[in-house]
Amino acid sequence: MSKMGISTYQSYCGAQIFDAVGLAQSFVDEYFAGTTTRVEGVGLKEIARETVRRHRLAFGDAPIYRDALDVGGDYAYRIRGEAHSWTPQTVSLLQHAVARQFARSISRLSPSC
Per residue, the 3-state secondary structure of the chain, as one string, reads: CHHHCCCCHHHHCCCCCCEEEEECHHHHHHHCCCCEEEEEEECHHHHHHHHHHHHHHHHCCCHHHCCCCCCCCCCCCCCCCCCCCCCHHHHHHHHHHHHHHHHHHHHHHCCCC
Q: What pLDDT shows up at residue 23?
A: 93
Provide φ and ψ at 55, rounded to 5°: -65, -45
Asked if pLDDT for residue 111 goes beyond 70, the answer is no
Asked if pLDDT for residue 32 goes beyond 60, the answer is yes
Mean pLDDT, rounded, of the chain: 77
Q: What pLDDT shows up at residue 113?
A: 45
pLDDT tens figures, 47-94: 999 999 988 877 777 776 667 766 666 667 778 888 877 778 877 887
Nearest to 39 by CA among 26, 25, 18: 25
Distance CA 107, CA 101 (A): 10
Confidence at 12, pLDDT banded by 50, 70, 90 = low
